[in-house]
């Protein structure tokens, strides 16, 4: 397993993080049992993955806590999240502290390595920074949290409006950012500022529906072409990203998508979520494979340089 330092946190982490939410939730959404989900987390640890990312909203913190029983706590970096809104109402500082305390209990730990405010909307940011951040910062001072982060709602905030605003404040140690082949706008809007400041970056949305289902990709490319976001002369409409696959290239489109994100300057950890151990192993292999050929990387950057309106979902 390859490792890196997560920005100014100084935490040494695997370049791959296990995501415990998304469509899969460690397989729980597909009918897997809690015991199977626990085994999946432990398989990730066996593969050398040292960053586990969960959230209050995912309802997988208890699984992660049980999976870590008997594991050396200092060998794992726990990332979790609390939502600033509950039942469509902004949490009070007292409520957000109680939510964070609940994370500690479910994860069966005395300290959370990275606690994020989850999916913050742009309009909510002033309240989050002014009222909720101080409550969590007090917990950091008490030793219950090591570092504080913020995540965007990339599916609806494809232009990174929240993180652009958050970067005006120098209080976030880590940011969770949506970035993939189809929407590379974080390169200029986010990474250009996180890199010099040493803000750690966890990457989400590396592979989504349009990067795993050919028919979804064709439909999306047709939409982007109609919006004049991509030039149809630059790709084959029947197989828009087929040029990425072949001898000396990627094995599949998901393989290419993971490798594209893995070597993006400014990307520290790429999150990968699944409920299947073999799928997890394949994702690890992709993220440890060499970069895509330079000409393919350049072609992708040119093809999607004007796209900032889709997430790939």
State the pTM of this model: 0.94
- What mean pLDDT comes out for the span 38-53? 96
pLDDT in tens, 16-33: 999 999 889 888 889 999
For residue 44, name the pLDDT band (cuts at 50, 70, 90): very high
pLDDT at 113: 98
- What mean pLDDT comes out for the span 29-50? 95
pLDDT at 22: 86
**Residue 50 confidence (pLDDT) above 90:** yes
pLDDT in tens, 125-157: 999 999 999 999 999 999 999 999 999 999 999
pLDDT at 165: 97
pLDDT in tens, 205-250: 999 899 999 999 999 999 999 999 999 999 999 999 999 999 999 9
pLDDT at 87: 84
**CATH 3.30.70.1400 correct for 3-303:** no
pLDDT: which is higher, 29 or 188: 188
* Domain regions of the chain by residue span: 3-303
For residue 86, name the pLDDT band (cuts at 50, 70, 90): confident
Residue indicated by tokens 């809104």: 85
**Residue 35 confidence (pLDDT) above 90:** yes
- What mean pLDDT comes out for the span 159-187? 97
**Residue 259 confidence (pLDDT) above 90:** yes
pLDDT in tens, 192-214: 999 999 999 999 999 989 999 99
Percent of the chain with pLDDT over 90: 94
């Amino acid at each position: 397993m390859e490792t890196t330092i997560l920005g100014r946190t100084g935490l040494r982490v695997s370049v791959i993080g296990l995501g415990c939410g998304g469509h899969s939730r460690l397989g729980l959404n597909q009918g897997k049992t809690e015991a199977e989900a626990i085994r999946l987390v432990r398989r990730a640890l066996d593969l050398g993955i040292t960053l586990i990312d969960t959230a209050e909203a995912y309802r997988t913190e208890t699984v992660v806590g049980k999976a870590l029983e008997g594991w050396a706590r200092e060998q794992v970096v726990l990332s979790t999240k609390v939502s600033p809104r509950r039942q469509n109402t902004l949490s009070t500082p007292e409520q957000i502290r109680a939510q964070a305390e609940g994370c500690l209990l479910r994860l069966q730990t005395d300290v959370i390595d990275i606690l994020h405010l989850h999916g913050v909307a742009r309009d909510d940011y002033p309240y989050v920074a002014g009222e909720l951040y101080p409550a969590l910062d007090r917990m950091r001072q008490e030793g219950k949290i090591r570092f504080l982060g913020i995540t965007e709602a990339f599916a609806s905030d494809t232009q990174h409006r929240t993180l652009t605003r958050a970067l005006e404040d120098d209080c976030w140690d880590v940011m969770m950012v949506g970035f993939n082949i189809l929407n590379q706008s974080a390169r200029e809007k986010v990474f250009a500022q996180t890199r010099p400041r040493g803000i750690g970056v966890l990457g989400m949305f590396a592979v989504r529906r349009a990067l795993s289902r050919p028919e979804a990709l064709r439909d999306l490319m047709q939409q982007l072409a109609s919006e004049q976001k991509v030039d149809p002369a630059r790709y084959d409409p029947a197989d828009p990203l087929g040029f990425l696959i072949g001898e000396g290239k990627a094995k599949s489109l998901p393989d290419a998508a993971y490798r594209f994100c893995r070597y993006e300057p400014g990307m520290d950890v790429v999150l990968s979520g699944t409920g299947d151990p073999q799928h997890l192993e394949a994702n690890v292999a992709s993220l440890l494979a060499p970069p895509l050929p330079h000409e393919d990387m350049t072609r992708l950057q040119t093809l999607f340089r004007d796209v900032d309106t889709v997430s790939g979902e």
